[in-house]
Amino acid sequence: MPEQPLVHVSTHPLIQHKLAALRDASTDLRSFRELMRELAMLLCYEATMDVKLSPITVQTPMGAAPGFKAEDTIGLVPVLRAGLGMLEGIMQLLPNVQVWHIGLYRDEHTLRPVEYYNRLPTEPTVQVCFILDPMLATGGSAVATVDILKRWGVTRIKYLGLIASPEGVQRLSTAHPDVPIHVAAVDERLNEIGFIVPGLGDAGDRQFGT
């Protein structure tokens, strides 16, 4: 089987159209949340292209029909707070998933992630984890989240985000070369305070009005 590319930057026209609207500083709170929900769904569609299927038979009103059932047990891992905006839409697509929240914030001075919420049980309960976090800036939070999930015992992990910096992609793919990265864009750079430029500002603040 050909090897999957590690970094998937979506070229889907709907994703690119919605991403531009999301970035726009004049987009209001309600539209911002709606766009984030829709973008997450579209990215999830692309990131689930390799979900394992098993053949099944279903009964239609006319008889037996061959079909497929998704086999993988998927866990969604929204990184608080900003990852919450990607959760609802994906849960609509994948209603039977488990959701395991991870709380991390970035220390303003060191830019290092600080863990403040993690209620993972001792043994892993899912086979695949999708980390949801719209912004891959320095990559510190993403690397820390993958570290947490690998310590938990999950080996198949994907990162789903909206905007990445080249530095963040580099850091995550160097630390965890086995974790595919799905994003809508890789922007120009990080600025001196660790924000993605041009990015969209602070994804948590823009969706929660803070």
Our finding on whether 204 is near ligand PRP (CB under 6 A) is yes
- Which span sits near ligand PRP by CB under 6 A: 42-50, 89-97, 133-141, 148-156? 133-141
Our finding on whether 194 is near ligand PRP (CB under 6 A) is yes
Our finding on whether 168 is near ligand PRP (CB under 6 A) is yes
What is the distance between the alpha carbons of residues 137 and 189, in angstroms, rounded to a whole number?
A: 9
What is the distance between the alpha carbons of residues 199 and 94, in angstroms, rounded to a whole number?
A: 28
Neighbouring CB atoms inside 10 A of 171's CB total 18
Residues 35-74 that bind ligand PRP (CB under 6 A): none
Nearer to ligand PRP, 178 or 202 (CB): 202
What is the distance between the alpha carbons of residues 83 and 99, in angstroms, rounded to a whole number?
A: 12
Q: Which residue of the chain is nearest ligand PRP when measured via CB?
A: 204
Exposure string of 121-131, with b = 16+ CB inside 10 Å and e = fewer, is: eeebebebbbb
# residues near ligand PRP by CB under 6 A = 23
Nearest approach, Cβ of residue 184 and ligand PRP (Å): 15
Nearer to ligand PRP, 31 or 170 (CB): 170
Query: Which residue in 202, 148, 141, 160 sits closest to 76, CA to CA?
Result: 160
Our finding on whether 133 is near ligand PRP (CB under 6 A) is yes
Nearer to ligand PRP, 51 or 101 (CB): 101
- Which span sits near ligand PRP by CB under 6 A: 91-99, 116-124, 135-143, 175-183? 135-143
Whether the ω angle into residue 81 lies within 30 degrees of 0, i.e. cis, is yes
Our finding on whether 195 is near ligand PRP (CB under 6 A) is no
For residue 205, with 0-12 CB atoms within 10 Å meaning exposed, 13-18 middle and 19 or more buried, which class applies? exposed
Nearer to ligand PRP, 41 or 111 (CB): 111
Nearer to ligand PRP, 129 or 203 (CB): 203
Half-sphere exposure of 63 (CA within 13 A, CB side): 1
Nearer to ligand PRP, 125 or 201 (CB): 201
What is the distance between the alpha carbons of residues 106 and 31, in angstroms, rounded to a whole number?
A: 26
Our finding on whether 199 is near ligand PRP (CB under 6 A) is no
Report DSSP state, residue 177: T
Residues forming the site for ligand PRP (CB under 6 A): 79-82, 104-106, 111, 113, 133, 135-142, 168, 194, 202-204
